[in-house]
Structure 1
């Protein structure tokens, strides 16, 4: 894939791959996208840090302008390209799932990020219509002989915005888990569903992480432990282990397994150092911070000040340890 950089920085790698896929869609290069998606799906290829390449490919197909606001015309053109792909390749499950995902994003775009009472009736109508279009696309995609784990990611996101019952939501989740238990993007959707402000209760996220990881044998189960906990790190920050009842030692084992099997990158190393510090394992945090040096990741730390404070604390710890050994 042109433009892919060193695996030591998966954030850049993921953004470049998604941007390349987006550019290919705009050129109507459906065959190459199809080939890349089929290869990533069948090989279960991961990018260092444990990210599924298949998910990153779909990420490049979800919206017209990645990480930027799109106009209504740009959205219409984007949906039009996906429809053209479906017409050109009517048996493509990738095209159908990507179209469903785009309808979800466009539905959320119509609703906006404000509180429910601030959303106009027109925006609610667009939200309902577009989320229903996503449901219709998913129904068509499910008829395909080739099953895709991303179908379940999109379906669960539809379930969240359409306020499915817990029974219906869990049924779809279980289908996805049986198809591909290590496609952790499915579990990420359920973690979102389990936030107390959505459909969960206090303590459910931690219980889910432990129960879900226990269903996956060997190192993959440990890796899932780390990956799911790390997803919540960006939300709970310093309160992670107060809000989510998971044992730090299991998270640590998961990171070590991830490193053995898929390698880690700057993003994961920063996450690990952060979680080690607030998991009260300053020895591990100190070692990781020393390895990170100044290569901090804003997505993990939020602010440079937080990073520098933890860096200073771990430096002080090493100084004390050094004096005690003399």
Structure 2
């Protein structure tokens, strides 16, 4: 049996837009969260559910110039927490249109109760971006019917109008730039226009990590760039965040880009840098999810000593659910036990299920 290391699903446009929140704040509450950014997102989510708009405005003001202890701008998980109520990625089932409208009504009520709230205005604009993708649906443009595409364009233009109206007060707010960059990605702006906005955002706050995920997506071959542009965008994001994150941003971006041995074999990713990035992030905030990912990528890179080291450090925290799939988990744990640095197992068995696999 030939192992298929690459994920089989095609990443939709909607998921690309959500990458930033899923990686910086993991804006869903299905798991027990311990990362500082996640805890902020969870707190904001609960306040939004309780319609505690006064406290939300207070937190927005407090987080505007604050960085979490895991070195990301606090406003990023703040807006991720607000979005938890409607992000499809936070639920096993797609939200109904009624649920989207209910959340929109809550955001409108927030603005009505606090007409001067920049947080509420930004949240409403960001909502329209996500609502546009919901109306469009996933899949390539050729698969989207005319009515859905029209709805997508109308809602995205609504988001742009709202952001344009906030351009003056938003000129120093990274969340405003992230919203506008998301619009630029959706509307297919020219490289010159998009890049100029990204440059401004990066000067204001390079640790509002969402801007880097959107920039990398824009420059990817599946959007408006090329493989070379995408790699350059990843390198630039890593340079801009090196002061606080070391190589962690390089690792984060490459881990969302690909998950197969080919990523190292073709030169698309440098394992030495990714390895350093895992070490950097574990120094910033050590937890088992990152270490499970570290072990997974060590296996992808055929770095058996590092794989063995991370599996040993994980101990009881080794969790198959945090790996790409059951087959890869079985292969990698067997590979770690095989003799010799370069020997690969031809057959392997999952210890928890007893399922037996052979190449």
TM-score normalised according to structure 1 size: 0.82
1:307 aligns with 2:332: no
CA distance in 2, matches of 1:230, 1:276: 12
CA distance in 1, matches of 2:321, 2:214: 19
Report how far residue 319 of structure 1 moved.
10
TM-align CA RMSD: 3.1
Structure having the larger proportion of residues in helix: 1
Partners of 1:8 and 1:264 within 8 A in 2: no
CA distance in 2, matches of 1:313, 1:55: 38
Q: Residues 152-301 of structure 1 correspond to what in structure 2 (within 5 A)?
A: 152-216=177-241, 218-232=243-257, 235-242=258-265, 245-260=268-283, 262-293=284-315, 295-296=317-318, 300-301=322-323
Corresponding residue for 2:65? 42
Report how far residue 205 of structure 1 moved.
2.2
1:27 aligns with 2:60: no
CA distance in 2, matches of 1:144, 1:287: 50
CA distance in 2, matches of 1:215, 1:63: 28
Corresponding residue for 2:144? 119
Q: Deviations over 1:90-115 (max 9, x none)?
A: 33322222111111111000011133
CA distance in 2, matches of 1:13, 1:173: 23
Corresponding residue for 2:350? none
Report how far residue 124 of structure 1 moved.
1.5
CA distance in 1, matches of 2:190, 2:239: 25
Report how far residue 33 of structure 1 moved.
1.8
Report how far residue 161 of structure 1 moved.
1.1
TM-score normalised according to structure 2 size: 0.75
Partners of 1:64 and 1:78 within 8 A in 2: yes
Partners of 2:36 and 2:69 within 8 A in 1: no
CA distance in 2, matches of 1:244, 1:151: 35
Partners of 1:135 and 1:155 within 8 A in 2: yes
1:56 aligns with 2:61: no
Aligned to 1:61, what secondary structure does the other structure show? helix
Report how far residue 287 of structure 1 moved.
0.6
Partners of 2:289 and 2:322 within 8 A in 1: yes
CA distance in 2, matches of 1:144, 1:151: 9
- Structure 1: any 5+ residue segments left out of the alignment? 322-326
Report how far residue 245 of structure 1 moved.
2.9
CA distance in 1, matches of 2:235, 2:299: 21
